[in-house]
């Protein structure tokens, strides 16, 4: 039986390339039209962050918002300002039954929509 030996340089390069291939990129995002209570209507990118429906929206010169599904139709939200300031938004966001593209927080009256 013959064993293949790879020099550690080649193995570490291969592992690094494999890791980079799994990092989500802007190419994974889809163009959309967004609305947030603070920013109004604007063109944005939407990117799924989990198979449960969780997502992030982003646009140049706008904060990045994320919704993390707690259960179907109910989510926690956060806003990311810059590269190191993630702020959880208070309360829960419910999916609007009349417009499924929108999520609404009854406590704060904040709305996040993505079409």
Examine residue 1 and state whether it is found in any structural domain, yes or no.
no
Examine residue 16 and state whether it is found in any structural domain, yes or no.
no
Its domain, for residue 92, covers: 26-114
Examine residue 18 and state whether it is found in any structural domain, yes or no.
no
Examine residue 5 and state whether it is found in any structural domain, yes or no.
no
Which tokens in the block code for residue 37?
């209570």
The mean pLDDT value for 50-61 works out to 96
Examine residue 12 and state whether it is found in any structural domain, yes or no.
no
Domain total in the chain:
1
Q: Confirm if 45 and 30 have CB atoms less than 8 A apart.
A: yes
Using one digit for the tens of pLDDT, what is the confidence trace for 11-38?
Answer: 334 333 443 343 344 458 899 999 999 9
Distance of alpha carbon 93 from alpha carbon 86, whole angstroms:
17
Which tokens in the block code for residue 46?
């939407």
Examine residue 10 and state whether it is found in any structural domain, yes or no.
no
**If we measure between CA atoms, which residue out of 67, 22, 61 comes closest to residue 46?**
67
Using one digit for the tens of pLDDT, what is the confidence trace for 57-112?
Answer: 999 999 999 999 999 999 999 998 777 778 999 999 999 999 999 999 999 999 99
């Amino acid at each position: 039986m013959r064993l293949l030996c790879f020099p550690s340089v080649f193995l570490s390069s291969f592992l690094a390339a494999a890791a980079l291939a799994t990092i989500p990129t802007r190419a994974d995002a889809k163009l959309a039209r967004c609305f947030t209570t603070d920013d109004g209507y604007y063109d944005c990118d939407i990117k799924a962050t989990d198979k449960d429906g969780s997502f992030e929206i982003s646009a140049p010169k706008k904060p990045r918002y994320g919704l993390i599904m707690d259960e179907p139709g109910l989510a926690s939200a956060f806003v990311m300002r810059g590269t190191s300031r993630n702020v959880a938004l208070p309360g829960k966001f419910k999916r609007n039954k009349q417009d499924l593209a929108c999520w609404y927080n009854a406590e704060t009256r904040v709305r996040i929509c993505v079409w």
